[in-house]
Structure 1
Amino acid sequence: MSKSKKIIDNPTSAELIKQFEAFESLEALYKAFPIARSLFPGMEQAFTEFKKIKEQAEILKVPDRFNERFANLGFIAYESMNIEVMQEAIKIYDTDGKDAAEQYLADSYDADCLEWGIRWFNSSPEFRRRIRLAELARVDYLAGRHHACIPLLLSMLDGLVNDVSNHVGFFAESTDVTAWDCIAAHESGLQSLVLLMTKGRNKTNDESISIPFRHGILHGRELAFDNKLVAAKVWAALFAARDWAVALADSKKIPKPKEEKSWSEIFAQLAENNRQKKLLEEWKPRNNHEIPYLPHTGEASHLPSGTPERAVAEFIENWIAKRYGLIAKSLLYFTDDSIGKKSGRAREDFGSWVPISFKVLSIEDQAAAVSHVEVELTFERENEPIFKHASVRAIYQDTENNALIRTESDGVWNIVQNSFTDILYASRL
C-alpha cells in the first residue's frame, strides 16, 4: 500500500511541485544577476507564464479535497473523472451540504459520461471482455432500472479485479487495489471503497440506502437498494477500477531516481517549450468548406499525405482488406503488448464486421494534435448495403505516444478504436 497520506504526495504531483520550486530558484538567480537579462531577454516572459501555470497547479489538490469529503460516502477521485465535476461537487458540498453534492455527482453519471467511460474499457483486456455486459448495464441504468444494473455492475467489479490481480476479487478481505502513482488506487481511493462497500449487513433492511453494500444487496438483505445514487456510485467504482487496471498494466512500479537537470538543460527545455508554444500559436484548424476534396470516395492515396483523413482512410482500407497487422499498428494503445497480441486482438475486434467501402464526409480539427474524421462505412448483409456512420478520432503522436503538434514532422496519426464501438460490438448491423 502507498506510504503517502495524500494523493498530492504521489511521485508525479511531487515532481511537479519540485520543478516549481526549482523554477522559482532560477527566477531568483535571474533577477539577482543583471547580466542574465541581457543574455536571456525572453526569460522575463517565461517567468510571467510560469506564475500562471503555478496558479493553475492548484488543481493538484483537488483529488485530496474530493476524497476528504466523499470517500466515506462512496465516491472517490480517479484519473478519468472530470476534474470540473470534482471541483463543482466540492463547492456544492461546502455551500449546500453533502446531500446536494451527492445528487449532483449522481446526475453527472449521465449518458455521455457512461458512453465515454465504457469506451475507455478498451484500454484494459479484462475490461474489454465485459463491454457487452457494461452496455447492458448502461441501458438499464439510463432507463431507470437500477434494480437490474446494480447487481450486474457489482458482479462485474468483483470479477474484473479478480482477473486483473490474478488473486482475489474486489470484495475479498485480502484484496489490494493500490498502485504506485495512481489517483484511483491511492490508499484513500479504491482501498477505502472496499472497506466501505463490504461492511456487514446482518439484518434485512426495508429502508433506502445510499451506499452500495455488496453483501447486503447480493445476498438479499437490502430490499431498497435500487436507486440512482447507489447505481452511480457503482459506476464510479467501476471506472476507478479501470484506471487502477491501466496503472498496473503500465507497470507503475517505483522507478529509479531521476538525474538532476543542469541549468543548461533547464534553459534548453525552456527554449523547446517556447518553440512548441510558437508552433501551437501558428496552427489553425481547417474549415470544411475550404477543403476541396470533401466528400471523398476514392483511394486513400489520393488524400494529402500526413493528414488525419489520410490516416483514417488508410486504416479503413486495411480493414476492408483484412490486414489486421497493419490495423494493429495504426491503433492507439495504452499497454505495451507485442505486435502479435495486438494483431490477434485487432482480428478479434475488427473481424466480425468488415466494410466493403467507405466515404470521408467531413473533418473537424479539434486541437493541434486531435481531429475527428466523419466517415460513412458501407457493409453488406444478404446482398443489401448497410450504411453506418462513425466519428473517427485520430491523435498525432510521437514514438512514445506523446501528443505532438501536427506541424511537427516526426509524428504519426493513431486511430482511437473506441470510435467504432457501436459497430464492433453490435450483435447485428
Structure 2
Amino acid sequence: MPSSETGTKEINELLRRLNDKSNPGIGLSPSSYQPIRDLLEGVANGVKYFAPLGWAYFGKWPVAGTNAALKALVAGAETAEVDEILTRAWNDDLSEWYRWSLPALRRAGNHSPRLRQILWRRAELIEKAIEHHLKGAYEASIPILYAQAEGLAYDATGKPFFTKSSRHYVAAIDDTTLAGLDGNLEVARVLFSDDVSETQDKGSLSRHGILHGRELAYDTEVVSTKALVLVLSLAEHWEQLLAKVPGFED
C-alpha cells in the first residue's frame, strides 16, 4: 500500500480499546467487537488510502466497495483501477447516498428562514447536478457541484474550501462526524485545490483547472462521482455549524 501519514485518531483509539484485553469494554458484549472492529478498520483504511485520491468519506459509504478497493490496492492495483472500483460502488447505490444526505442539509437551515431558503436552493441545484450525472452529462454536473461546495463553505465559515492557504480557510475537521475525521476532507482538499498553470487533459480534480478552462479532460464519471461525494461529505461536516452560523439567526 502507498505510505500515508493521514490521521484517523478517533477510530484508531476505538480499535485500540477493542483490542485491549484488559479494557473493561465500551458498553458492548465481546461478541459485538469483531463486526465493529472490521467496520472501523474499513473506515480508517478507506480514509487513509482513498482520501489522497480525492474520495471524501461521510456517514453513508459503500462498505463492500471500499473493502474491494482495499483488497485491490493490497494486490497492487493502480490508481485508475481503484478509482473504477470505488466509482462503481458509489454509483450502484447512488440514490441511497444522496437521499440520506440532502434532507439533512435542508434541515440545517430550519432555525432561519433566510438560511433555509439558501440551503433548499443549494439542495435543488445539487439534485440537478445529480440528474446530469445520471445522464452521463458530467461536463454539466461537475461545475454545479464545485460551485455548491464553495457556496456551502462560505455559508458555514465565511471562507472558501478550494484553497491551499491555511490562512484563507477553516479546517474541515470535527469530532462528531465521519466526514470531519482528521485526514479526510483536509487531505482530499489538496487535490481539489490544485493549481493548473497550463492547459492540460489529465483528468485532474482541480477546481481551478476545470472552471478556468485549463483542464480539458474533466468530464468523466470518476471526477463527477468524486465531486458529488465531496459535496455530500461537506454537507455532513458543516450541518451542525450551519445551524449555528452567525448572521442567519431570526
Is this a same-fold pair by TM over 0.5?
yes
Q: Cα–Cα, structure 1 residues 140 and 76, in superposed 2: closer, same or farther, change >3 Å?
A: same
Would you say 1:160 and 2:155 are equivalent positions?
A: no
Alpha-carbon distance, 1:18 to partner: 4.0
Q: Is the 8 A contact 2:48 2:184 kept in 1?
A: no
Would you tell me which structure has more helix in proportion to its own residues?
A: 2
Amino acid at match of 1:84: A
Alpha-carbon distance, 1:133 to partner: 0.9
Would you say 1:194 and 2:189 are equivalent positions?
A: yes
Q: Is the 8 A contact 2:62 2:89 kept in 1?
A: no
Instruction: Determine the C-alpha separation between the residues in 2 that align with 1:104 and 1:155.
Output: 26
Alpha-carbon distance, 1:24 to partner: 4.7
Alpha-carbon distance, 1:5 to partner: 5.9
Would you say 1:222 and 2:215 are equivalent positions?
A: yes
State how many pairs are aligned.
224
Task: Return the match for 2:74 from 87, 91, 94.
Answer: 94
Q: Cα–Cα, structure 1 residues 91 and 230, in superposed 2: closer, same or farther, change >3 Å?
A: same
Alpha-carbon distance, 1:247 to partner: 4.8
Alpha-carbon distance, 1:178 to partner: 1.6
CA RMSD of aligned residues (A): 3.0
Q: Is the 8 A contact 1:178 1:186 kept in 2?
A: yes
Alpha-carbon distance, 1:236 to partner: 1.1
Task: Return the match for 1:121 from 83, 90, 102.
Answer: 102
Instruction: Determine the C-alpha separation between the residues in 2 that align with 1:25 and 1:217.
Output: 51
Instruction: Determine the C-alpha separation between the residues in 2 that align with 1:220 and 1:16.
Output: 45
Would you tell me which structure has more strand in proportion to its own residues?
A: 1
- Name the TM-score, length of structure 2 as normaliser: 0.77
1:14 — aligned with what? Answer: 13
- Name the TM-score, length of structure 1 as normaliser: 0.47
Instruction: Determine the C-alpha separation between the residues in 2 that align with 1:250 and 1:156.
Output: 17
Where does 1:5-404 land on structure 2 (aligned, <5 Å)? 6-7=7-8, 9-10=9-10, 14=13, 18=17, 21=20, 24=22, 50-58=29-37, 59-95=39-75, 97=77, 98-110=79-91, 112-114=93-95, 116-124=97-105, 125=109, 127-165=119-157, 167-172=158-163, 173=165, 174-176=168-170, 177-205=172-200, 207-209=201-203, 211-248=204-241
Amino acid at match of 2:212: H
Alpha-carbon distance, 1:248 to partner: 3.5
Report Cα offsets for 1:231-276 as digits up to 9, x if no partner: 111011111112201354688xxxxxxxxxxxxxxxxxxxxxxxxx
Q: Is the 8 A contact 2:193 2:208 kept in 1?
A: yes
| Secondary structure at 1:78 match in 2 | coil
Q: Is the 8 A contact 2:12 2:44 kept in 1?
A: no
- Percent sequence identity over matched residues? 21
| Secondary structure at 1:149 match in 2 | helix
Q: Is the 8 A contact 2:17 2:23 kept in 1?
A: no
Alpha-carbon distance, 1:57 to partner: 2.5
Report Cα offsets for 1:282-303 as digits up to 9, x if no partner: xxxxxxxxxxxxxxxxxxxxxx
Instruction: Determine the C-alpha separation between the residues in 2 that align with 1:68 and 1:116.
Output: 21
| Secondary structure at 2:75 match in 1 | helix
Which protein has the larger Cα radius of gyration, Structure 1 or Structure 2? 1
Alpha-carbon distance, 1:212 to partner: 1.4
Structure with the larger RCO, 1 or 2 (CA within 8 Å, 6+ apart): 2
Q: Is the 8 A contact 1:62 1:87 kept in 2?
A: yes
Instruction: Determine the C-alpha separation between the residues in 2 that align with 1:95 and 1:19.
Output: 28
Q: List runs of 5+ in structure 1 lacking aligned partners.
A: 28-48, 252-337, 342-429
Instruction: Determine the C-alpha separation between the residues in 1 that align with 2:161 and 2:205.
Output: 13
Q: Is the 8 A contact 2:155 2:242 kept in 1?
A: no
